[in-house]
Amino acid sequence: MLKSGAPSLLLAAALAAASPSAHADEFHLFPETPPGNTFANVHWADPPASRIDFEQLQLQGQVARFDDSNWIELALEREAAEAAVLEPHTQPEKLFTTATTVWTAAAIGGGVLQGIGAPLQYGWVSWNTTDEGWFSRDTYVGGSDKVSHFIISSGVSRLLYEAYTTLGHTENQSFTLAVTTAFMSGMMVEIMDAFSVYGFSFQDLTADALGSASGALINRYHLQDLLGLRLGLTETPIPASAIGSSVPTLGRSYNDEIYAADLKLGGLIRRMNGNPGFSRFFLTSFVYMTKGFGYAPALPTRYQEIGFEVGLNFPEILRCVGVSERTWWGQGLLAIFNFFRFPFTQIGVYYNLYDGKWYGPGAPRQY
C-alpha cells in the first residue's frame, strides 16, 4: 500500500518515449527494425564484420585475377582491406560495474526510504501480513492502490532499463537488471510495511512485479512510441453530505488520482505503414479511478469508474518545436510528460461501475 505521493515525484526523471518510424509492409507489433531513442539505439556489441569475398570481386573485375605475377600484391591488398574493417565493440567485462552498482543500490535504497516512513510514523511492530484484496468495492480503496503500485513500478523499471543500456549492457542484461531491481525496490517497501500497522501485502508485491516487467518490456521491444503508462491527478471534492460522520481511514484515499494506459496514434499508424501526419500529436487512453474510498464507516456513495479518453501527446509536440533527448533538460522535460497525465489535456467519457451510467464528454471531476 502506498502512503504518500513521494514515489510519483521520484519518477519525474523517468525517461522519455521516442518517436521512431517503421518501414514494414504490413502491421507488426514488434517491428523488424525497432524504433528507438537516444538510449535504446546505443549498441555496445556490433555484429561481427563480414569478410571480403575476393573471388566475387575478381569476377566483377574489381580485383585482378590471381596469378603468379600478382600474388604478393593481392595478399597485401587483402591484408589492408581486412585491417580497415572496424573490430566489434565489446560489452562490459563485469555485470556489476561501479556505475551499475550505484544505480541498483539507489533504486533499492529508494524503496527502503519510501517504506520506512510507515514504522517511523506509527511505530515498529512485529512482522505481520495483510490481505488487502484486489478490486472489490469492499477493499481498502477499490484497487486504486494496486494500479498505483503497477504504474510506479513500470516507471522505475523503464528508467533503470535506459540507465543500464547507456552503461553498456546488452538489451537482455538491461531487461533482467531493470525488472529485478525495480521489483526489489517494491519488495523493500513491503518489508518496511511488514514492521508497521500496514503489514506486508502480497497483492501490492504482485502489482509491483507486473509493473516492473511491463515497463521494461515496453523499452526492451522499443514500443515507447506506441504504448505508455501514466499517473495523473483529478481533484474531486467529496460533498460533506456524502461524508457525513465518517472519518478518513489509515493510509491514502486515492480520490484524486487517475491511471492511464495509452495507445499513441503516431506509433500505431507508422506500424501500419502509414503517415500519421497531424494525428501523431494525439493519443487514446483507457483510464481507471475510484472516488469516495478511504473512509470509515464506508461511504455508500463510493464508486469505481473506467473511461476512454483522447488526449494530447505532449512529447511529440515538444519534439516538433525542437526539444530533443540529446540534452539533459530535454530528456527531463520529455520524461515528465511521458509519466504524468496533466489535467485538462484530454477529453473522455467515463462509466460508473455502480450506477451503470456514462458521464461526459468532459473531464472526470464530478462526484
Lowest mean pLDDT among 32-41, 79-88, 114-123, 188-197: 32-41
Question: pLDDT tens digits, residue range 242-263?
Answer: 998 999 988 888 999 999 999 9
Please, which pLDDT band fits residue 3 given cuts at 50, 70 and 90?
low
Q: Cα torsion for 239, 241, 242, 248, to the nearest 10°?
A: 80
Please, which pLDDT band fits residue 81 given cuts at 50, 70 and 90?
low
On whether residue 194 sits in a domain, the answer given is yes
Please, which pLDDT band fits residue 236 given cuts at 50, 70 and 90?
confident
Q: Are residues 215 and 241 in the same domain?
A: no
CA distance 328 to 333: 9
On whether residue 45 sits in a domain, the answer given is no
On whether residue 341 sits in a domain, the answer given is yes
The candidate with the shortest Cα–Cα distance to 19, out of 40, 2, 50, 1, is: 40
Q: Are residues 139 and 214 in the same domain?
A: yes
On whether residue 87 sits in a domain, the answer given is no
Q: Are residues 239 and 124 in the same domain?
A: no
Q: Are residues 283 and 301 in the same domain?
A: yes
The candidate with the shortest Cα–Cα distance to 201, out of 211, 218, 212, 189, is: 189
Q: Are residues 119 and 142 in the same domain?
A: yes
Question: pLDDT tens digits, residue range 187-220?
Answer: 999 999 999 999 999 999 999 999 999 999 999 9
Question: Amino acid identity of 119?
Answer: P
**Among 187, 221, 255, residue at a domain's last position:** 221
Q: Looking at residue 11, what DSSP letter applies? A: G
CA distance 200 to 194: 4
Q: Are residues 227 and 367 in the same domain?
A: yes
Q: Are residues 228 and 215 in the same domain?
A: no
User: What are the DSSP calls for 300-336, one per residue?
Assistant: TT-EEEEEEEEEE-HHHHHHHTT--TTSHHHHHHHHH
Which residues is 233 bridged to in the sheet? 257
Q: Are residues 214 and 349 in the same domain?
A: no
Number of structural domains, the chain?
A: 2
pLDDT, residue 365, reads 78
Question: pLDDT tens digits, residue range 309-338?
Answer: 999 999 999 999 999 888 888 878 888 899
Lowest mean pLDDT among 37-51, 223-237, 289-303, 342-356: 37-51
Percent of the chain past pLDDT 90, that is, above it, reads: 57
Please, which pLDDT band fits residue 274 given cuts at 50, 70 and 90?
very high
pLDDT, residue 103, reads 94
Q: Are residues 32 and 105 in the same domain?
A: no
pLDDT, residue 92, reads 55
Question: pLDDT tens digits, residue range 289-302?
Answer: 999 998 999 999 99
- pTM of this prediction exceeds 0.95: no
pLDDT, residue 237, reads 87
**Among 165, 189, 221, residue at a domain's last position:** 221
On whether residue 21 sits in a domain, the answer given is yes
Name the residue range of residue 199's domain: 95-221
End-to-end CA distance of the chain: 24
- Provide mean pLDDT across the span 46-69: 45
Q: Are residues 233 and 117 in the same domain?
A: no
Q: Which residues contact 227 (CB under 8 A, 6 or more apart)?
A: 218, 261, 262, 263, 264, 267
On whether residue 133 sits in a domain, the answer given is yes
Q: Are residues 214 and 263 in the same domain?
A: no
- Provide mean pLDDT across the span 166-193: 95
Percent of the chain past pLDDT 70, that is, above it, reads: 75
On whether residue 202 sits in a domain, the answer given is yes
Q: Are residues 234 and 366 in the same domain?
A: yes
**Among 160, 187, 221, residue at a domain's last position:** 221
CB 45, CB 174: distance < 8 Å? no
pLDDT, residue 138, reads 86
pLDDT, residue 325, reads 80
CB 279, CB 267: distance < 8 Å? no
Which residues is 296 bridged to in the sheet? 247
On whether residue 123 sits in a domain, the answer given is yes
pLDDT, residue 331, reads 79
